[in-house]
Amino acid sequence: MEGKSAACAHSSPLGNIASAVCDFWTNESVQNVRLLGGQAPDVFTEMLIYDCRLMNTARETHNAKMLRDLLVESDRHRDPQALFLDPEVCFGLAEAIVNESDDYHRILSAARFACKAMHEAVNNKTLQTSAIETKWLDRIEKTVSSIPNDSDQLLTKITQSWPGVFIPTEYGLKT
């Protein structure tokens, strides 16, 4: 995963939370240029070593959960992607998926959960979104709520709405 100590190629609003939910991260995009501290790959490797030492020390001193929670809390409110890396939200999404009996309902449940989680975060002012993002979230939520609970009904609706554009057999579907 990229983030935290791998920001030399592209910045991210979720670098800390990425560290909380992955075992290893790096950035293969480090150019071999001279920095004050040495060659860039060496400098970024040193930063990775610092992070690994911190995480290992947190584990050895029984503070791993505390470190994880701090990494999560520092980013979870900055971006919708970060919100879904929050273990609490991630586990809720996983639960919504595994509680369903078939793939169609798993997808539908995941989409509904995602919309609800983002809306709750926006309404609670724990996730900042622009007016355009909020408008799109409302639009997506409205679309998701209009999806039929029966996959055959959805297939019929799509086939009728986009004849010749959507060809079910190209997706291994029967009409």
- Looking at the fold, whether 120 and 145 belong to one and the same domain comes out as yes
In total, the chain counts a number of residues equal to: 175
pLDDT tens for 11-58 read 777 888 888 877 666 666 788 999 999 998 888 888 888 988 999 999
Distance CA 121, CA 129 (A): 10
Task: Give yes or no: residues 120 and 86 share one domain.
Answer: yes
Q: Please tell me whether residues 110 and 166 are part of one structural domain.
A: yes
Average pLDDT, integer, range 125-134: 90
pLDDT score recorded for residue 173 = 86
* pLDDT attached to residue 3: 64
Q: Supply the pLDDT for residue 8.
A: 75
Domain stop point among 53, 75, 97: 75
- Sign of the four-CA dihedral 123, 125, 128, 131: positive
Residue with tokens 């670098």: 15
Q: How many domains does the chain have?
A: 2
| Per-residue model confidence (pLDDT) at position 25 | 62
Same domain (yes/no): 90, 56: no
User: Is 143 strand, coil or helix?
Assistant: helix
Is residue 84 domain-shared with residue 143, that is, in the same domain? yes
Q: Are residues 95 and 48 located together in one domain of the fold? A: no
Taking CA atoms, 84 is separated from 105, 116, 168, in Å, by: 20, 12, 32
* Domain termination site, one of 42, 75, 108: 75
Handedness of CA 30, 34, 36, 42 (dihedral sign): positive
Range of the domain at 165: 80-171
What pTM was computed for the model? 0.78
pLDDT for the residue numbered 27: 60
pLDDT at 2 over 90: no
Q: Is there a single domain that holds both residue 12 and residue 49?
A: yes
**Which of 76, 78, 80, 69 has its CA nearest to residue 119?**
80
In this structure, are 114 and 62 located in the same domain? no
* Dihedral sign of CA atoms 114, 115, 116, 121 in order: positive
Residue 1 confidence (pLDDT) above 60: no
